[in-house]
Amino acid sequence: MSFPVHRPRRLRRSPAVRRLVAQTRLHPADLVLPVFVREGIAEPVPISSMPGVVQHTLDSLVAEAERAVAAGLGGLMVFGVPEAKDGRGSGADDPGGILNVALTRLAEAVGDRIVVMADLCLDEFTDHGHCGVLDHSGAVDNDATLERYAAMALAQAAAGAEVLGLSGMMDGQVGHVRAALDAAGFTDTLILAYAAKYTSGLYGPFREAVQSSLVGDRATYQQDPANATEAIREIELDVAEGADIIMVKPGQPHLDIIAAAAEISPVPVAAYQISGEYSQIVAAADNGWIDRERVATESLIHLRRAGAQIILSYFALELAECW
């Protein structure tokens, strides 16, 4: 009888051996927890399409941040849900607006123990739900939007955010915001550029979370899921304009883009496991079809193995507390 000369199964023979030779590892410090803070509520409000995720009050947000610190998470990405909206997203750069007030509370409470990140986009604050201001024809005005982003950046930096997550996919947004921050003396504020942000049907639960007013879609500024070369161009432009971190979003559907980004990027690469990705796993687990913790962990390992050094996930705190 002829026996195999090579026996790769030896490296899989026990949990201890598999742990020893594992090539990809997750650590809580790799993870960032996205959180929502809502104006005008007295207690946290569950998000029906994202079981286990809530819209926080200011007080419950700080309590969640303390849990994140205790679990060793790397950061928090904060999204604001205002009571009032208008065409230019005035609440976005209002120092008394819910997002900026929340950033200050977090910076004071945990800012020296975890990275406080701010979502820098207008969609939560505009009554039309788009990520920028509209021109007379109803289209998103790229250059007018850049001015709003600069104002928002200054407000968030002043509020205490250490990292600004530019998620609007406007041309030139990184360079414009970097120049505004530097001119105002915020030279140490980091920019996390959503460099390859694809339009996707998986954003649905997030729109409930931020009470989005969007009618239509964002296909004129977010990337076409059919395209890859375009993502590389966007990444290279954002790095050239001064991005400190670049991100691919959604994560799981675009593992090839994460891998390509990791190959070319001189700055850290992040990935965002978005609301629809989270909710799919939760729904399947709630039906008894899959093991929630196992599949959630596996999904983050895929992102890490593809090349993401930083992972934004709604599972971040839950999993970190299990490890």
Average the pLDDT over 28-40 and give the result.
97
* pLDDT per residue as tens digits for the range 70-113: 999 999 999 999 999 999 999 999 999 999 999 999 999 999 99
Q: Minimal CA–CA distance to 245: which of 318, 154, 162? A: 162
Query: What is the pTM for the complete model shown?
Result: 0.95
Dihedral, 130, 34, 250, 268 alpha carbons, nearest 10 = 110
* pLDDT per residue as tens digits for the range 188-227: 999 999 999 999 999 889 888 988 887 778 889 999 999 9
Residues involved in catalysis = 197, 249
Give the Cα separation of 5 and 212 in Å (integer): 60
Give the Cα separation of 54 and 227 in Å (integer): 34
**Residue 217, pLDDT score:** 82
**Residue 172, pLDDT score:** 98
Check pLDDT > 70 for residue 1.
no
Q: Predicted confidence band at 115 (pLDDT cuts at 50, 70, 90)?
A: very high
* pLDDT per residue as tens digits for the range 250-273: 999 999 999 999 999 999 999 999
Average the pLDDT over 130-156 and give the result.
96
**Residue 118, pLDDT score:** 98
